[in-house]
C-alpha cells in the first residue's frame, strides 16, 4: 500500500510535537495511517451530546477483551455505569472533573483475581499463588484491556479520558459497583464523541525512557530541564500546585508540577483496601 504524503506529514508532525525530534519511518512499514492515529492520541474531556450506541459499545468491549492476557487467565472486567443515580454518585466523588458527569458513557475497568480462585475450587485444585504477583497480574490485565479499548474507540472517532482518581475513593467505588473479594477498580474511563480536537501532550524524550542493554540516567537533570522548556512552549501549565506551601515559581514547568504533586500523600489507604479485598501483598 502506497503511503500518502498526508500520512507522512501527520506522522512527522505528531512525532515532533510529542517528542521534539524527527524519526524516519522505514519505507516498508505497512498501515502508517494507523501509526499516525496512535501518535496523535489525545485525551478528551469535552464531548458532544451525541450518544454512543449500545451496539458500538459492545463491539468495543469485544475489541478490548481481545487484548493479550497473562497466561490466558483473563483477569479483567468492565463495568458500564448506566444508572443515573450511580453516574451522579461517581461525579460527586470527583467534582473537580466535570467530564465524569458530562461524558455520554462512563466505564470502570476492574482487575479480577476472584474468577481464577473460583475456577480452582470448581476443579478441586488449591490456589497456590496467593502473593503479590496475583494482584500484579490482575491489575496489568485490566490496564491492557483499557488501553486496547481506548485504541479501538479512537479508531471509530470516539474520545476517551482515563480516570485514575476513582482509586482516591476505592471503598466508595467498591460499594457503588458491589465488587466482591479479589475484584478491585483500576481506573474509570469517560467516553464520547469529542467536542473539539484536543491537544497532543508532549512526552519525555526517548533518550530518557528508552534504554539499550542497561538502564541509564546519564544527563537526566539536564534532559528533564530541556523537556520542561519544550513542554512549556507547547503546553504551559497555567495553575501552580500548593502555592500556600511552596510559593509561586518564576518558571513553572512539568517537573516542578510533578514534584509538588507527589510531595503530598495520595491514596495512602489503597494498600489497606487491597489487603481487605483478600490479597496477600507479600
Find out if CATH 3.40.109.10 is the number for domain 54-197: yes
Which pLDDT does position 3 carry in this prediction?
Answer: 59
Q: Residue 116 pLDDT more than 80?
A: yes
What is this structure's pTM?
0.94
Distance (Å, whole) CA 274 – CA 215: 31
What average pLDDT does range 73-90 have in this prediction? 98
Which pLDDT does position 66 carry in this prediction?
Answer: 98
What average pLDDT does range 236-250 have in this prediction? 97
Distance (Å, whole) CA 186 – CA 183: 10
Q: Residue 2 pLDDT more than 90?
A: no
Domain layout of the chain by residue ranges: 5-39, 54-197, 206-261
Q: Residue 4 pLDDT more than 90?
A: no
Using only the alpha carbons of the chain, give its radius of gyration. Answer: 21
Distance (Å, whole) CA 70 – CA 108: 20
What is the average pLDDT value for the chain, to the nearest integer? 96
Residue 11 phi/psi, 5-degree rounding, is: -60, -50
Question: ∠54-60-61 over CA atoms, to 5°?
Answer: 90
Least confident of 1-10, 35-44, 223-232, 267-276: 1-10
Distance (Å, whole) CA 83 – CA 217: 48
What average pLDDT does range 254-270 have in this prediction? 97
Name the grid cell of 176.
Answer: 457503588
Mapped to the 3 state alphabet, what secondary structure does the chain carry?
CCCCHHHHHHHHHHHHHHHCCCCCCCCCCCCHHHHHHHHCCCCCCCECCCCCCHHHHHHHHHHHCCCCCHHHCCCEEEEECCCHHHHHHHHHHCCCCCHHHHCCEEEEEEEECHHHHHHHHHCCCCCCCCCHHHHHHHHHHHHHHHHHHHHHHHHCCCEEEEEHHHHHHHHHHHHHHCCCCCEEEEEEEEEECECCCCCCCCCCCHHHHCCCCCCCCCCHHHHHHHHHHHHHHHCCCCCCCCHHHHCCCCCCCHHHHHHHHCCCCCCCCHHHHHHHCCCCCC
pLDDT exceeding 70 applies to what percent of the chain? 99
Name the grid cell of 191.
Answer: 467516553
Amino acid at each position: 500500500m502506497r503511503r500518502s504524503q498526508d500520512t507522512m506529514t501527520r506522522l512527522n508532525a505528531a512525532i515532533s510535537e510529542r517528542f521534539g525530534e524527527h524519526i524516519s519511518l522505514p519505507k516498508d512499514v505497512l498501515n502508517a495511517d494507523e501509526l499516525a492515529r496512535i501518535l496523535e492520541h489525545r485525551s478528551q474531556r469535552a464531548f458532544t451530546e451525541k450518544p454512543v450506541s449500545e451496539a458500538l459499545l459492545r463491539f468495543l468491549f469485544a475489541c478490548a477483551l481481545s487484548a493479550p492476557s497473562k497466561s490466558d487467565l483473563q483477569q479483567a472486567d468492565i463495568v458500564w455505569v448506566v444508572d443515573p443515580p450511580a453516574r451522579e454518585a461517581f461525579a460527586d466523588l470527583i467534582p473537580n472533573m466535570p467530564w465524569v458527569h458530562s461524558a455520554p458513557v462512563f466505564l470502570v475497568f476492574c482487575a479480577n483475581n476472584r474468577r481464577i480462585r473460583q475456577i480452582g475450587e470448581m476443579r478441586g485444585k488449591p490456589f497456590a499463588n496467593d502473593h503479590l504477583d496475583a494482584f500484579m497480574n490482575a491489575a496489568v490485565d485490566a490496564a491492557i484491556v483499557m488501553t486496547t479499548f481506548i485504541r479501538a474507540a479512537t479508531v471509530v472517532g470516539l474520545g476517551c479520558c482515563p480516570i485514575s482518581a476513582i482509586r482516591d475513593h476505592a471503598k466508595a467505588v467498591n460499594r457503588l459497583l458491589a465488587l466482591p473479594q479479589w475484584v478491585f477498580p483500576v481506573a474509570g474511563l469517560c467516553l464520547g464523541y469529542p467536542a473539539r480536537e484536543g491537544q497532543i501532550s508532549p512526552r519525555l524524550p526517548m533518550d530518557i525512557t528508552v534504554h539499550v542493554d542497561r538502564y541509564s540516567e546519564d544527563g537526566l537533570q539536564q534532559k528533564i530541564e530541556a523537556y520542561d522548556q519544550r513542554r512549556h512552549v507547547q503546553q504551559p501549565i497555567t495553575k501552580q500546585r500548593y502555592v500556600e506551601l511552596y510559593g509561586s515559581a518564576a518558571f513553572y514547568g512539568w517537573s516542578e508540577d510533578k514534584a509538588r504533586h507527589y510531595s503530598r500523600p495520595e491514596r495512602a489507604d489503597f494498600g489497606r483496601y487491597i489487603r481487605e479485598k483478600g490479597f496477600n501483598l507479600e
